[in-house]
Structure 1
Amino acid sequence: MITLTSVTKVFGAATNPVRALDGVSLAVDAGEIFGVIGQSGAGKSTLIRTVNLLERPDSGSVSVADRELTALSDRDLLHARREIGMVFQQFNLLDSRTVRGNVELALEVVGVGRRERASRTNEILELVGLENKANQYPAQLSGGQKQRVGIARALASRPRVLLSDEATSALDPETTHSILQLLKSLNRDLGLTILLITHEMDVVKSICDSAALMSGGRILEQGRLVDLLAQPGSQLARGLFPLGELPDGNSTVIDVTFVGLSSARPVVARLARTHQLDVGLLGAAMETIGGAQSGRTRLELPGTIDAHTAAISDLRAQGLVVEIVRSGR
C-alpha cells in the first residue's frame, strides 16, 4: 500500500547539509498498522510528510495505493492526496469553527456539496464518538476530543491510508489509550492502512502489526513484530521487552524470547529439571504483540557457557530464541 524506495531528503546549505532521510526504503502492507519509532531528530516527521509529498524527496520514489506520487503532475497529486488522511500532534483546528465546521472544511476544499458534506460529517462524527459535540468549539473540548476531531477531519474524504504524526504525544496516558483504541477500530472496521510515527515503544506495542526503527535518517530494521521478536539481536525486540541492567557476576546469562503459544510452556521448570540446573530468574516481561502472546525472560545459569551447550540447544530446538548476554567464566 505504501512503498518508499531509496528516498533521500537534505535540508540546509550545501556547506552544512542535514540528511533528514538517507536512502530510506520502507514497505507498508495494505490493511496493517505500521509504526515508525525513533528518538527526536531521527527523521520520522520528514519521512511521514514525504509519504503524501508535503515534503518532496530529493531522490527516490514514493508510491501509495499503486500510484507513484513522485511521478504525478501537481493536479494529479491533488487527487491522489484525497486517499491519504493525516492526523497531527497539535490538532491544527480552526478556533472560529465548530467541530462540525472543522470536519466539513476538509470536504469544502474539494468541492463537495452542502448536503453531502452534512451527511458525511454526521456519519464520521458518530464513528469517532463526537456526535454530541458537533456544535461546540475547540476551546470547549478536551485534548482527546480535539484529536478525535482531527481524526474525523482526516477521514472525511474516505481515504485508504491514514498518517499519524505523533498524534498521542501531547495526551495523558488514559487519553492516549482511548485514541489508540480508536485507531485500531478504524483500521479493523474501515480496512484503513495506518502509518504512525512515535517515540513511545508502548504505542508500537499496543496497536502495531509491523514497525521500523529509525535513527539518523536511516531505517535500522523493519518487519512484522512477531518476526522481529524471533530475530536474534533485534533492537526493536529489546525495546519491546526491556529487562533492565545486567547485574554483576561470573555466571552465564541468557535471554529467552517466547513468541505465540510457546509463551505458555513451562520452559524454566523443564530446563532446571531436564538439565539439573539451578536457574535464576533475573527478569521477565509478557505482552500481547501483533495478536500473539509473547515475552522475554532473562535467565542466570551457573558456570561458563561451555557447560550449557546442551541446555541452550534444547531451548532452541523448542523454537525459542536464545541470546547469550554473558558467557560466564
Structure 2
Amino acid sequence: MIVQHYRITAIALELARPSETSPDGVDQRRSKEQGRSAFVVDPNSSATGQPYAGTVFNPYDTSQGLADVCITNPDTAGNVAPDGIPDGFVTPVRTYKAVEVEISKSFNNGWQMRTNYRWSTLAGNYEGAFRNDNGQSDPSISSLFDFTPGSLNMLGNQFAVGFLNTDRRHIFNNFISYTFSRSFLRNLTLGTGVRIESGIPVNDLRAHPVYQNGGEIPVGGRGALGRTSTLGEGDIHTEYMVRLGERHSLQFGADLFNVANQKTQLRVDQFHDASLGTPNFDFKLPRGSGNIGVAPAFQRPFNARLNVKWVF
C-alpha cells in the first residue's frame, strides 16, 4: 500500500501541471474553452467512459486553475486498505528538574533571614492545561494535539521537545529584616528583599495551517528567538509599632517596591503571523499576556504601599 501511495502522488503531480493533452487523450485546451467544471482522468476507464473505483479526480476551476486533488486507489475495486502503520500522536512530555539550596535563620536576637537559589529546567512539548506562550484562556484545550504529525510535516516543530515558555534557569531570592530593641529606634523594623530571575524562552509562533489563527505552531524549535532579559528587583520594608497599653498597639508600615525603578522588558509578541498569510507587524515587540495588569510587558516601575494596623 505504501508503494501505491507514492505512485498515486506522482500521477497527481503530473496532472497538476497544465498540458495540451491528458493521459486519456482529452484536449485540455478545448475543455477550458467549453468551461468544463471538472476534469476526470482514469487510467482504468471503461469503454463507456464511466470511471471505475480507481478514478483519479482532478477538479478544474476555470477562474483559479487546477484545484484540490482527490485520489482513490487505482489498482483495486474496493476501499483503500490501511498500511498497518498507526497514525497516533507523539507522547506529551513535560519534565521539570530543579536543584535548590536554601539558608534560613528564624527570628532571634532581633533579626531573621531567608536566602535561596534554584537551578531548574522545564522542557517538553506540552505545557499542561494552559498554553501561556500564546495567552490561551480556555483550560485543557491544546490545538497542538488536534492533529498527528503527518508525513508532510505541516505542523513544523510543534512536537519537538524543547524548553517550555515558563522555563527559568536561575532564580535567586534574599529576604532579611532587623527589629531594633533599644534607643529611640525601639520597635522599628527594617527589611530588604532582592529577587533575580533569568529570562524565559521566546518562540517563533506561526499560524495554524488548518485553523488559520496566529500564534499556534512553534517554528525552529522552542526558544528559537532566544530569551528575554534577566530580571532584578530590590524592595524595602519598614514598620513601626506604637503601644497603646498592655493589649493594644498601632503599627505603621511602608513597602517600597523596585526602589531602583528598573524597567526590564518581560515579554515580547511571539506571533509571527496575525493569521494565515497575514503578517503581524508587532512581531518581537513588547507585549503583555492575559488580562490588563496580570502579565505586563515590562517590569512594574517603582511603587509604594502604606498601611496602618490596629492590634488588639
Q: Answer 1 or 2: which has greater helix percent.
A: 1
Q: Which has the larger radius of gyration?
A: 2
| Higher RCO (CA 8 Å, separation ≥ 6 residues) | 1
Global fold match (TM > 0.5): no
